[in-house]
Chain A
């Protein structure tokens, strides 16, 4: 609970820092020589589009960056944890690993959805379209579908243990698949510009790191909360089971 609050505070802090102290800098396809302060302002003329793509609100696309990237990174990290617990479950067949893997998947799913939302806003602001089959967005879209599939598979198997096993197996193969789909979407011939990154200023790096930390804490807090809940439910089940004997 405390972590949730701290995480929330940190991301909010990063949010304000992003608007007030960070400067627009060369991310994405925009490269600017002079750092500019653009907080709550329209894009300066020298950042206006020159190559036909509409950069209506470069500052917005810049600000979203501080949430989009941390949340995306956190989602993959949590997904990895889910896969790790899935492997443990298959090896030990202990229900507690399955529960953890499932909760981690839930958390990862929340993050992936957040990534999708911020990602869509970003493409709108930065490229002038709502959706673009850009490698990262595509990968996250696929990851989101894979996670939906994970829960669908789980709920479509009657036997509890079999459901857990199938879910674990699917979690692992999906985890292997996700980076492959990222690599491959970048490798196929396409007309999209490859998004590159330049270095970050300290002023920009600080809110970025703070946002990242905040996201991780929120993720961890969601995970812990759900784990406590599941733990309680399990204890209740034990009590119920005990009552049935008599």
Chain B
């Protein structure tokens, strides 16, 4: 199902006409039962996924990884190495699927594009003054246009958490729509809420709806730059939001937990959440991604373990 923006005729379009209407709508969303949410996320985390199901889950998880490097010290060489790893995660086993994308800063998009040329791997670029998002709208838009012009297939933007927490929802909405416009038709837009800074589950639910109303193709938990990143509970909450959004509007939105997911076991728990909350429609790297870097190595070691029957070690995967 292609993701499109809401048509002007849709009843939900009305809620974005003014700041007060938007606030009324977002604050009218049902409150989150925090204990229930965490309990459900925890209970789904206890599923035992073994043998063939585990092999399937590991390959699926590898194909969903947005292999990320977002450091001040990134060099074109490091991005090239990352690109090579994204295309062939395990050079000793060419049956390993490629990852979904590499995720870099805008000035590295060109290098990343070259590195993954000829493969299915997409290039995602963070933009809009990542990770703080504290810059003027013009600057953010220039950042986005720059990345799109360099060939980015996906843009990961951060919302203005300051405006969101101050209750200026329409400002956040307008910013997302402006960025969406700057992405044009060529790039998909991922909207990062930085859930660790939103304080409450209610805020995460509101942010999810706000992002989806504004035309996000993906909603993403975190930048990976703060203490609390993706957790099963906040990802479950966002999955519920995309499920409800599709039920109301027919528009499917992707979800990307990012940061703090380091082991295969964790990744498989997230896949269980996806399957049990939104179903198979999202079990595809077009609709669900992992923002991670060290996760891939653990997935590869688990894959080697399944293939050979012996435990692998960090000496048998690349250092990045």
Q: Do A and B come from one complex?
A: no
